Amino acid sequence: MMKKLLQFTLDLFEPEPESESVAPGASRKAGGKPNLQEKGLVTQAERVQPAIENIAHSAPVIAPLAPLSLQQALAPATFRHPRATREALLNEIAVAYEFRRSKRRTIGFSVGADGLAVSAPKWVPLHEVDKAVLEKSGWIVKKLQETRERHERLESARIDWKNGATVPFLGEQVRVVIDSRHAFAGVGAELGAPVAEPGQTAGALRSLQVALPLSATPEQIRDAVQAWLMRQAKQLFTERLTHFSPRLGVQWRKLSLSSAGTRWGSASADGSIRLNWRLVHFKPSVIDYVVVHELSHLRVMDHSPRFWDTVRAVVPDFAQLRGQLKDDAIPRW
């Protein structure tokens, strides 16, 4: 019974906040730095310090943070959590972060969409927290920069839902064309031949002709396009599961489409597969990797070296394709 409940997942490109932790008062080698230990997710803290405080690279100086000037607020090398209560100068970059007390045993660091959050046990003095933040400055700044860059890519991929909008489909852009004649009313939409813009001589995009009136609202256009994409996803995923399952020596029993915000797919020991319909934005090779990833879980229900060897046997370049899931920007829905 427990085996049937087992399920393994592939996280979405938009992951949960990345986190690390440090043991307070970690032992030092002679002349060395505290021994840092990575402990995983940051737990929910219980209370917040009342004032924002500052950490300098020299001996930590605790002081209230002055209000930001316009120039400081617009400075690119500044990261400020919306609930910031302390600030640190890390590698010449001002990082204002949320600090909380918690019941955890270690000092935890979490970088997410809002910025850096730090939590520490109630008994750990602030100077120990200051030292831990400075020790992790390289990791913190790297993750903050990666998160900001990712947010900018996602914003640039946002779709303005109107006649002529472009949408990625199987790794290529297609242009939405409203068909007021309702010629495709039976199927909602149809992928047509490339349509060149006036004066365009090369690089014409294929058209996705949608059966809607020209007065259709952005929401109606979005919903019609999404419905078409989901139908394509179900058909394509079924074909690829059927193609790869014999090569892996497994049998899948049920496919469900997912709209999850944190996972690309999941597999259960009973042969059920769930795949996120938004995978149709990616090129076919990336979709194949996710399909193989989930089918491989029907042989190895963990992420052990044996599991990755199973994936590699079918998709040798899976590491590169896996990176594209994280790095490529796809539209927000």
In degrees, rounded to 5, the angle at the alpha carbon of residue 98 between the alpha carbons of residues 92 and 100 is 130
Kindly state whether residues 138 and 180 are assigned to the same domain.
no
Kindly state whether residues 198 and 289 are assigned to the same domain.
yes
Band (8; pLDDT cuts 50, 70, 90): low
Domain for residue 11, yes or no?
no
Q: Which of 106, 121, 156 is the last residue of a domain?
A: 156
Task: Tell me the average pLDDT across 193-211.
Answer: 74
In degrees, rounded to 5, the angle at the alpha carbon of residue 329 between the alpha carbons of residues 326 and 333 is 110
Kindly state whether residues 133 and 229 are assigned to the same domain.
no
Phi then psi dihedrals of residue 253, to 5 deg: -115, -30
Band (205; pLDDT cuts 50, 70, 90): confident
User: What pLDDT sits at residue 57?
Assistant: 32
Kindly state whether residues 191 and 323 are assigned to the same domain.
yes
- For residue 288, pLDDT beyond 50: yes
Kindly state whether residues 81 and 176 are assigned to the same domain.
no
Domain for residue 311, yes or no?
yes
In whole angstroms, give the CA distance from residue 273 to residue 233: 13
Average pLDDT score over the chain? 78
Kindly state whether residues 170 and 150 are assigned to the same domain.
no
Q: Which of 180, 179, 237 is nearest to 207 (CA)?
A: 179
Percentage of residues in the chain having pLDDT higher than 90: 53
Band (30; pLDDT cuts 50, 70, 90): very low
- The distance between the two most distant Cα atoms of the chain, rounded to a whole number of Å, is 80
Among the residue ranges 26-35, 262-271, 272-281, the one predicted with the least confidence is: 26-35
Contact 292, 248 (CB under 8 A): yes
Number of independent structural domains in the chain: 2
For residue 51, the enclosing domain spans: 19-156
User: What pLDDT sits at residue 234?
Assistant: 97
Single pTM value for the model:
0.61
Kindly state whether residues 186 and 129 are assigned to the same domain.
no
* Spatial CB neighbours of 195, under 8 Å, sequence gap ≥ 6: 175, 177, 204, 205, 206, 207
In whole angstroms, give the CA distance from residue 245 to residue 296: 9
Kindly state whether residues 125 and 266 are assigned to the same domain.
no
Cα-Cα-Cα-Cα dihedral sign, residues 279, 282, 284, 287: negative
pLDDT in tens, 101-130: 998 899 999 998 889 999 999 999 999 999
In whole angstroms, give the CA distance from residue 162 to residue 225: 11
User: What pLDDT sits at residue 122?
Assistant: 92
Contact 38, 21 (CB under 8 A): yes
Q: Which of 116, 138, 156 is the last residue of a domain?
A: 156
Residue type, 302: D
Domain for residue 10, yes or no?
no
Name the residue with higher pLDDT: 146 or 57: 146
Kindly state whether residues 182 and 315 are assigned to the same domain.
yes
Kindly state whether residues 214 and 314 are assigned to the same domain.
yes
Domain for residue 13, yes or no?
no
The two three-digit tokens of residue 318, written as one number: 């899976």
Q: Which of 156, 186, 211 is the last residue of a domain?
A: 156
Domain for residue 7, yes or no?
no
Kindly state whether residues 267 and 290 are assigned to the same domain.
yes
CATH code of the domain in which 294 resides = 3.30.2010.10
Domain for residue 14, yes or no?
no
User: What pLDDT sits at residue 218?
Assistant: 93
Kindly state whether residues 141 and 188 are assigned to the same domain.
no
In total, the chain counts a number of residues equal to: 333
